Amino acid sequence: MSENNLEEAVENVEEKAEKKEEKEPVATPVGIKIGSQHTVIVTEEGTFVTHTCIKEVENPVTGEKEFVIGDEALELFGDEVNYMLRGGFPGTEEEAELLKIYLVKLANMYGLPENSYVTYAVPSIESEICVNLVKKVIAQLPIGWVGKEMWNDSFLGALALDEGLDMINKTFLVMNLGSSTTEVVAVRRGGIVYSLVTGAISGDSVDRKIRNEIQNETRGAVNIDLNTAREFKEKYANLKNWEKVQETVHLFEKGKYSFRVDECIIRPVNEYLEEVADFVAMQFLPELAERNFSVYRQIMKKDFILLGGMAEIPGLAEKLEALLRDRLGVAIKIRMPERPSVASAKGAYMISKFRLENKS
């Protein structure tokens, strides 16, 4: 072979290698937590949170129907929006279809690429129907073409602690205080040993009680919707520094009227914490001890991990820790990730990133 032919052959090989690299773009790791109230997306670009709601609207000129989702839908339509999940899952084919529409629009909104690996954080549930509906939706989404999987959201949230993926090798308990459920999970080396979920204790129930408290406080003069009650809770609930907060409204034939918001919030939150402490100490732990005493003993020597939106309330972790110590007679300690409300999505992102970095 002449020198010219050899040079041409080398150039052809290099050109083919460059084209191959161009054809194989780097996949994007994505973590998604689809909650009953909020959806959290974690990518390399950051963390994004929006409401898990949707509203079908009709264009008054063209008559065409379209869907508005997330924060925009809530801001425009308030209580008219449709929260399509209960306990983190759709319960019917109709709700599953709405979830698919919601997630497709969400993927477009945040620029989630087809060439991605997506890990989904989902809560524990006994209904195979609900699980299969979510799997069906996920399979139809235009993202996660490289790979997709589902993990328990309480377990994933623990990965957001400083130990990161090393938590997979540990045994621990997670208390996940969500909007529509409270979930307690015992984890051993990445596997769920036992989980217990209740919808009777939830952030939503606190919102309803706050609404009722305000109605009682004002003798029926002020009736707020649940979204406003939730906003009051997220803005004013504080068990660490309790401050006096007043709201003022103008009522027909009554004029200016003021009422104490802080008192209407603190009572429901304290009742909620008592219920959570009872659920963990009087129900979950005894049942775990009956099922697996070895794991129970290990967990009682470890810190309890706290996750979920309700865990964001200042002073809540410390108050819950004191209540559990009183009930169990053990010096329980609680620890949390930096942002417990988005921790599950962060853990999901870490799984996706690990998969891509170790992909053969």
Domain shared by 316 and 257, yes or no: yes
Check pLDDT > 60 for residue 236: yes
Residue 22 lies in a domain: no
Domain count, the chain: 2
Check pLDDT > 60 for residue 18: no
Burial class (CB in 10 A: 0-12, 13-18, 19+), 77: middle
Structure tokens at 10: 């080398």
Domain shared by 236 and 99, yes or no: no
Residue 53 lies in a domain: yes
The two beta strands, 54-58 and 65-69, are: antiparallel
- CA-only gyration radius of the chain, Å: 24
Check pLDDT > 50 for residue 10: no
Residue 11 lies in a domain: no
Residue 218 lies in a domain: yes
Banded pLDDT at 14 (limits 50, 70, 90):
low
Domain shared by 319 and 350, yes or no: no
pLDDT at 12: 56
User: Tell me: the pLDDT tens digits for 59-113?
Assistant: 888 888 899 999 999 989 888 999 998 888 998 999 999 999 999 999 999 999 9
Domain shared by 153 and 189, yes or no: no
Domain shared by 179 and 304, yes or no: yes
Whole-Å CA distances, 282 to 29, 327, 329: 40, 8, 12
Query: What is the extent of the structural domain holding 201?
Result: 167-336
Q: How far apart are CA 153 and CA 245, in angstroms?
A: 35
In the predicted model, what is the mean pLDDT of residues 274-282?
97
Domain shared by 135 and 270, yes or no: no
Residue 332 lies in a domain: yes
Domain shared by 242 and 151, yes or no: no
Q: What is the pTM (predicted TM-score) of this model?
A: 0.86
Q: Which of 22, 330, 36, 335 is nearest to 202 (CA)?
A: 36
Contact yes or no for 90/133 (Cβ under 8 A)? yes
User: Among residues of the chain, what percentage have pLDDT more than 70?
Assistant: 91
Q: How far apart are CA 185 and CA 75, in angstroms?
A: 35
pLDDT at 252: 61
Domain shared by 121 and 207, yes or no: no
Phi and psi dihedrals of 37, rounded to 5?
-105, -40
Residue 360 lies in a domain: no
Domain shared by 254 and 144, yes or no: no
Runs of H (alpha helix) within 24-152: 70-77, 93-109, 128-140
Domain shared by 264 and 286, yes or no: yes
Residue 18 lies in a domain: no
**In CATH, what number is assigned to the domain containing residue 85?**
3.30.420.40
Residue 1 lies in a domain: no
User: Tell me: the pLDDT tens digits for 144-187?
Assistant: 999 999 999 999 999 999 999 999 999 999 999 998 899 999 99
Tell me the range of 166-180, 203-217, 225-239 where mean pLDDT is highest. 166-180
